[in-house]
Every structure is written in structure tokens, then in C-alpha cells.
Amino acid sequence: MRGQLAKVKESVAFLEKETKLRPHIAVVLGTGLGGLADRIKAASVIPYKNIPNFPISTVASHEGRLIFGSLGGKTVAAMQGRFHFYEGYEPREITFPIRVMAAMGIKTLLISNAAGGLDLSFQAGDLMLISDHINLTGQNPLRGDNVDAWGPRFPDMTAPYSRRLIDLAQKAAKDLGIKIHKGIYVGVSGPSMETAAETRFLRIIGADAVGMSTIPEVIVAVHAGLKVLGLSVITNVNDPDNYQPAPLEQVIATAKGAEPNLVRLVEEILRRM
């Protein structure tokens, strides 16, 4: 773990030389949502591959760069492209950028993803605020020695998603006339999609949307004491009784279609923060 601490320090030292900005808000852009980055008045754009110890994104739909700049009138650090367990990364690697950003002074994490809807009243292209999550990945990024300087051994998870930020986001969506749901995100490891029986199970245990990301980052963010707002773009709706494939192209196209609303909403949320 000492190794991990030293690695984070090395990455932070590098980034603090690359940018003068010291944002308090980080934004993680999910599958098909990297275009939100175009709205950032970027001061520094740093490819992950240049950052010491950063994992490198392998998914074609993810860009893989850290952007420091201004969005919605706030200084932000934005991750364009993230890491998934299904790509072969360890949970500690997936969450390494969150550790680095927390060490740089980030206090709030705005995290987005593409997810499959399990609530059959949802429609493809809808947005959902994450009110809580179910970790079904079988993994936990905090496994192993705890770095006490980072956070507690058994972090409290009674409210991983900030109620204040959820309220703020709901009001912002209402004022913009953007329909938004609130629901529970279940994280699975993927990369195979869920079977019909699994989909039925996920709904029965209380989930409204399913995806293959976000959970590790949120656990680490909570451990580090960050306030978290999670936003899912529902790219497909999974009805186990009339189950249809959701190919990646469709997931990406739907996420892209929903992006203008997501962009407007995220900018408005930032403005009000």
C-alpha cells in the first residue's frame, strides 16, 4: 500500500506541474458521453498515457484524457474516458484517478454512465439520478491494507450519493424541462450482458438500472470523503419477458442522442453548486 501512496504522490506532482488549476469538482464522462468535454473551456488537456501510473483506456468509445478547465462557470477536472473491470484492470487501477484527484483537492465527484433500464417505465435516452447502488461486481476497490490517510477501514455507505446534490439536480432538471428519474444502479462486472433471468433478478432485488462501471469509483470517492452525484443515461430498457439485444453501437448512439440534455443539465448543476 505504501507503493500506492507513492504512486498517487508521483501522479499528483506531475499534474500539478501540468496545470495551474486546482479544481474542487471532478467529472467522469461515461460511454458515449465524452462530447460533454467539448463544452469545457479547456486550460490543460493531458492524455492518460502521459500521466505517470495512470492506467490506459482500451475501449474505442473512450478517449482517455484528463481535462482541466471551466464548465458551467466552475473549474473542473474531467475524465474523458474511464476504466472498467471487464477490460482487465484491477479495481485499484480503475479507481486510481479518483485517488489522484482526491489528493489534488477534489471535494465533489460528478459521475456519469450509460446503463440499461430495468424499470420498464423508463425509455431509451432518459436520464436517471443515482439514489443508491448495489455492488454486484464481486469486487471492492478497498480490499487489502487500508491507507488510513485516505479514509477509514470500513467506510460508511448509508448515503453514498449526496442528497443535497440530488435535490439540486432534480430542481435544475425541472427548471430546464428535462425529464429525470431517480433510481438504484446495480453494478455488474460484465462484459457479457445480463441474461433474461439475471435481468429479472436485478429488478427483483430493487435495481432500476444496470451497468458495468461507476461502483468502484464511487466506493473510493466515498472512502476519500467526496460528495458524489451519479447520473445514468438509460441507453436501452431490458424487459426480461420481451428481451432484446442491446448492441454496443446502439448503446453509444443512444447515449450520444441523450448527450445534449445531459450537457445542459450538468452545466446547470455546476452553475448551481
Q: Which residues bind ligand HPA (CB under 6 A)?
A: 114-116, 193-194, 210-212, 235-236, 238, 246, 251
Q: Which is nearer to ligand HPA, 53 or 139 (CB)?
A: 139
Least separation in angstroms between CB 106 and ligand HPA: 25
Do 86 and 34 meet the contact criterion of CB atoms below 8 Å apart?
no
Least separation in angstroms between CB 2 and ligand HPA: 36
Q: Which is nearer to ligand HPA, 8 or 212 (CB)?
A: 212
Give, in degrees to the nearest 5, the angle at Cα 131 between 144 and 203: 90
Least separation in angstroms between CB 75 and ligand HPA: 30
- Taken as a whole, the chain contains a residue count of 273
Least separation in angstroms between CB 82 and ligand HPA: 13
Q: Within 13 Å and on the Cβ side, how many CA atoms surround 165?
A: 26
Relative to beta strand 25-29, strand 41-47 is: unpaired
Q: What would you report as the CA-atom Rg of the chain, rounded to the nearest whole angstrom?
A: 17
Q: Which is nearer to ligand HPA, 12 or 115 (CB)?
A: 115
48's torsion region: left (phi>0), alpha (psi -120 to 50) or beta? alpha
- Residue number closest to ligand HPA, CB atom: 116
Least separation in angstroms between CB 232 and ligand HPA: 9
Least separation in angstroms between CB 184 and ligand HPA: 14
Q: Which is nearer to ligand HPA, 78 or 212 (CB)?
A: 212
Q: Which is nearer to ligand HPA, 70 or 189 (CB)?
A: 189
Q: Which is nearer to ligand HPA, 57 or 236 (CB)?
A: 236
Alpha-carbon distance 141 to 157, whole Å? 14
**C-alpha grid cell for residue 234?**
438509460
Least separation in angstroms between CB 193 and ligand HPA: 5
Annotate 71-128 with DSSP letters as a single string: ETTEEEEEEES---GGGT--HHHHTHHHHHHHHTT--EEEEEEEEEE-STT--TT-EE
Q: Which is nearer to ligand HPA, 115 or 270 (CB)?
A: 115
Classify burial at 216, counting beta carbons within 10 Å of its beta carbon; exposed 0-12, middle 13-18, buried 19 or more. buried
Do 117 and 208 meet the contact criterion of CB atoms below 8 Å apart?
yes
